[in-house]
Chains A and B, each alone.
Chain A
Amino acid sequence: MAKIIVVTSGKGGVGKTTSTAALGAALAQRNEKTVVVDFDVGLRNLDLVMGAERRVVYDLVNVIQGDAKLPQALIRDKRLETLHLLPASQTRDKDNLTAEGVKRVMDELRKSFDWIICDSPAGIERGATLAMRHADIAVVVTNPEVSSVRDSDRIIGLLDAKTAKAERGERVEKHLLLTRYDANRAERGDMLKVDDVLEILSIPLLGIIPESMDVLRASNLGAPVTLADSRSAPALAYLDAARRLAGETVPITIPGERRGLFGKIFGRRAA
């Protein structure tokens, strides 16, 4: 049974695209057929993070407007044959997305994939509401700081009101993915602590992704962080989060808390 996941946040720059790519690759590594869909029409980035920017021919808007068939627009990943990308259009804007068109594409993807991961644009307008429209599960990406938390809270409210599931009287399953978490700064009080964020948002925690240079390095390489270096701390955190999405019970560790004296001496290199 196919599951549609929306990766959303309200606020921009918190790590939606990075998380979409990393979770998509992690789920595909489990040998489950996965597609990542870029809904950020006009400001697409997922193709870059996936390293597929030079292979884009047709995109989501072409499929919605009937200029191309869905299989023509899907790009298969060169590293993982279970992983696919449906890119957004860079030359159009979000008004080209129609509710019926998005529904048709989602229904068609449901037939051939196990996981459909929608990368939502920032904001609460058309692009974002259409990206969340058909979701079964929402991954709410939040940074441990007040403005991101408040925007996430707003998005959670919309998930309970504006999705197809909500309109049928059902509930979208919501998970919190805390990204760019820096244990040292949280300890100094420069960042909100995990418990504070959870208390404000009151949705279950899917994972905590540590702030790391590995994420930036992977993006520049054009590879999801879970594929670029699967031993790195953020990759391990994303792999665990993907296992939790798939229904496994994996205990959550707060990054940095495992680090002992030895780790502290060697600082980041040990992380």
Chain B
Amino acid sequence: MRRYSVLALLRESLTGHRGWERAWEDATPKSEYDVVIIGGGGHGLATAYYLAGQHGITNIAVLEKGWIGGGNTGRNTTIVRSNYLWDESARLYDHAVKLWEGLTDDLNYNVMFSQRGVLNLAHTLGDVREGQRRVNALQLNGVDSEWLDTAAVKRFCPPLDVGAHARYPVLGGTLQRRAGTARHDAVAWGYARAASARGVDIIQNCEVTGLVRDGARVTAIDTSRGRIRAGKVGMAVAGHSSVLADMAGFRLPVESHTLQALVSEPIKPVLDCVVMSNAVHVYVSQSDKGELVIGAGIDEYLSYAQRGSFPVIEHQMGALLALFPSFSRLRMLRSWGGTVDISPDASPIIGRTPIDNLYINCGWGTGGFKATPGSGHVFAHTIARGEPHPLAAPFALDRFTSGRLIDEHGAAAVAH
């Protein structure tokens, strides 16, 4: 892998940029691999990268039915944070944030992790109570978090309307300064390039059509590009997790919904942080291109269509303008949708399945992007060792039988 750098850019600029190599090799599927990762999104590619880089396993394929990063990795609102309530969640998501902090260097690819701060607003006494509960827990868990009163919220985010006249006035908020945004496509491409350089086969346009089982094991994967034998299989396909689980013959307690998002036309800088509100339901940040990136709740019905209904957009707009009245004359440029898999406790499902050599990583629902490096890292460990990484262990599938749920509906900050 040729290293990227300013010098490399300068050198290439003198010769018409003809010397740049493919970011990742376009591999032809082999007939057998030690590990096959199904799902070429951020989580799947990160898993392959850590398997190759930290566990010495390089005979790996990542199978992607379309183009890598074409699922939720390419459709999210790019927010990265770790301000979750329960110990297990705070640790896992903050593990991810710590990896984010060094990711550009690790991958030699600028993922543009911008630690501009994420503000979660409180609009009711209940919000204040829950917000402070979360701040106190995060602080004890060693994750940066502060409580801001109304005046401090306004100082941190001047364009926000915190007036008492509002339908749900801002009563304060929690701030995580280390949190922020990252460039979603770059994460997929950066992991793909680094994984490919370590010998991982990245196979696009390869749809899984069946899983071949021999008793309690998967022996091979049928795909649109032929049958591939696998020693171990890891699934990281988000919204389509239950479809694949069905192929494998086990059940997953997830529901797939459309989650929509939209951007405005690019404008000069006006918002320097990420603002999220549960009560006035919307979250917004401004990309480095100048577009406001806006999201809110899921469409209530089950769907794999990756497009949603218009009233969801209308509701978001009212909420956005309640918080930022000055945005009223800006324009929506583009809207889209992704398919999110929601678990009963709004927490991911990571680890073993009823099938011995099949591992699952799903259920991230509306909040998977922020966890990408952490998710891939612990999933790689789990697959390599055959046992869950300690940070992943609480998120096992069997918690839905034992009852040891990790309920993060509040922290998910997205209406379910």
Binding partners A and B: no
B-side residues, CB < 8 A to A, are none
Binding site for B on A (CB under 8 A): none
